[in-house]
Structure 1
Amino acid sequence: MNFFRTVFSSFKIQLTSSLYRSVFVTCILVNPMFYVFLLYMMYSSKNENIGNVIILGSGLTTIWSSICFSSAGDIERERRGGTLEYLFASPSNFNLIYLGKVLANTLLSISGFIISFIIATFILNEPPVLANPIYFTVSFILTIFSFITFSLFLGPLFTLSRNSRAFINSLDYPIFILCGMVTSLDLLPGSLKIISYSLPPTWGISLLRESANGIENYSNFFVNSLILILIGLIYILISIVLQRKIDKQARISASLGVF
């Protein structure tokens, strides 16, 4: 019960506070509009299922941007506000507090898919065509899981760094490319593909595209789903270990504050 109470309390507070931040509102409302038209101009003459391309690309980039600039930025805001030390020292586990923040921001960021769908369908006249709706729904849930596990892994890194804002700004677009949100992974050199396939969202995005455009090999689809879940669990385990080490070190050195 303490687990759910902590996560829900953090979720509820974050849900309210995120909607009052202009940067976050821009990420979930304005960015999808920009990405839809940008992707439309990029792929309208090259892809038959342009509706799938622009909705998935715009929606996924919106989710990542909201995670990057909000869930990660929350650590920086807590530090600047002088409350990060109190969160660490509270009886509740900091991982659960951060999980509530991530869940709230992820839920709000899904609005990017809705905005992208409306623009693509009713303005650009390019509605999506889902070849496997049921598998697409499963893939969507797994993709959200992959983003959550990735953001939980980044949490301790942002907590450790006192210059996390610069880290956030430099991390946004590389993940777009490495995870294949807007471009094919086939365009990447082999060395970068190794990094790409070590990131949970890469597998989720691949499943989404495959289920939307038509699954050719169901065995591979299920194997890739299991790989995503396994990598996600590994990221969760790493985040727990890192957070415990940082928590211990922070209590010794008292180094979580601005100074």
Structure 2
Amino acid sequence: MIRLRQLAVCYWLQLKILLFSPFEGFLAVVFPLMFATAALLVYQVSGDPEAMLYAAIGAAAMGIWTSQTVSASTLVQRERWAGTLELVVAAPTRFSLVLLPITFAMATIGLYSVVATILWNWWLFDVRLEVENWPLFVLSILMATITIALFGFLLSVTAVRYRTSWALGAALEYPGWLLCGFVVPLDLLPDAVLPLSWILAPTWAVEGMRASAAGESPWLDLAICGLVGLGYAALAAWLGVRLIDSARRDATLALT
């Protein structure tokens, strides 16, 4: 019960901070609309309504991915710059339990981009999102949000020991659009990179969104998405303990 209260309080406080952050506001409000516009302008050339709908669904998830990869990977770095990382590491609460609710708060902000992108696509490109099964479509969006948050959790943990690892999130932003099948079908990708797509949970979540929109069953995609997300959480929790313990043991925990 105490752990749940700590997670809830940390989540709520971070969510309020993010809501008033100019950087997060710009990242969540402006970026998704820019990316969706660029993607749909490319597909508009073909004049294929099905292709436009395919891109519109993928563009709706792109905002969550962007807000998470960039923000979560710089999360620890921002604490380092503020001089508060030592306090976070030294706190009685496990380090991973401090980072986890913060990444979930970031993903919650990213949920706005889904609604904004859907409305933007409708108003600007007249692409109406026709969904056969709305409950499963919403569930797929929530699965995408949760698993992307867990992926951000994994990224943020690595930055506690390696200062330059924050750049990994920025480097993954645009390749992730392709590898997760947001705007390009996975069938068009080289076979050599498909395993990378399979270990990214958003790949399966977006497939679930498309299956739900088409009236097909998304359960297999969502089950795989959930398992991959749990793998992220387990790996991040293990790394969080190992990296900090290693740094303390070797007296190399240079945080500032």
TM-score by length of 2: 0.91
Shift of 1:256: 4.3
2:114 corresponds to: 113
Shift of 1:30: 0.5
Structure 2 residue 5 is the aligned partner of structure 1 residue 5: yes
Whole-angstrom distance in 1 between the partners of 2:53 and 2:4: 36
CA contact (8 A) 1:10 1:97 kept: yes
Corresponding letter in the other structure for 2:63: T
Structure 2 residue 223 is the aligned partner of structure 1 residue 226: yes
Corresponding letter in the other structure for 1:14: Q
Distance of aligned partners of 1:224 and 1:125 in 2 relative to their CA distance in 1, 3 Å threshold: closer
CA contact (8 A) 1:40 1:54 kept: yes
2:144 corresponds to: 143
1:153 corresponds to: 154
Corresponding letter in the other structure for 2:246: Q
Where structure 1 has 5 or more consecutive residues not aligned to the other structure, the ranges are: none
Q: How does 1:1-259 map to 2 (within 5 A)?
A: 1-44=1-44, 45-49=46-50, 52-215=53-216, 218=217, 221-252=218-249, 253-258=251-256
Distance of aligned partners of 1:48 and 1:24 in 2 relative to their CA distance in 1, 3 Å threshold: same
CA contact (8 A) 2:137 2:212 kept: yes
Corresponding letter in the other structure for 1:255: L
Corresponding letter in the other structure for 1:153: L
Shift of 1:138: 2.2
Whole-angstrom distance in 2 between the partners of 1:118 and 1:229: 28
Distance of aligned partners of 1:7 and 1:52 in 2 relative to their CA distance in 1, 3 Å threshold: farther
Where structure 2 has 5 or more consecutive residues not aligned to the other structure, the ranges are: none
Distance of aligned partners of 1:23 and 1:58 in 2 relative to their CA distance in 1, 3 Å threshold: farther
CA contact (8 A) 2:106 2:149 kept: no
Whole-angstrom distance in 2 between the partners of 1:9 and 1:198: 31
Shift of 1:230: 1.8
Corresponding letter in the other structure for 1:106: A
Q: SS where residue 182 of structure 2 aligns? A: coil
Q: SS where residue 110 of structure 1 aligns? A: helix
Distance of aligned partners of 1:224 and 1:122 in 2 relative to their CA distance in 1, 3 Å threshold: closer
Over the residues paired in the alignment, what is the CA RMSD in angstroms?
A: 1.9
Q: SS where residue 159 of structure 1 aligns? A: coil
Whole-angstrom distance in 2 between the partners of 1:230 and 1:114: 26
Q: Give a deviation string over 1:184-222, Cα, whole Å, max 9, x none.
A: 11121111001110111111111111211331xx4xx33
Distance of aligned partners of 1:251 and 1:154 in 2 relative to their CA distance in 1, 3 Å threshold: same
Which stretch shifts more, 246-255 or 77-86?
Answer: 246-255
Shift of 1:159: 2.1
Whole-angstrom distance in 1 between the partners of 2:224 and 2:47: 31
CA contact (8 A) 2:75 2:156 kept: no
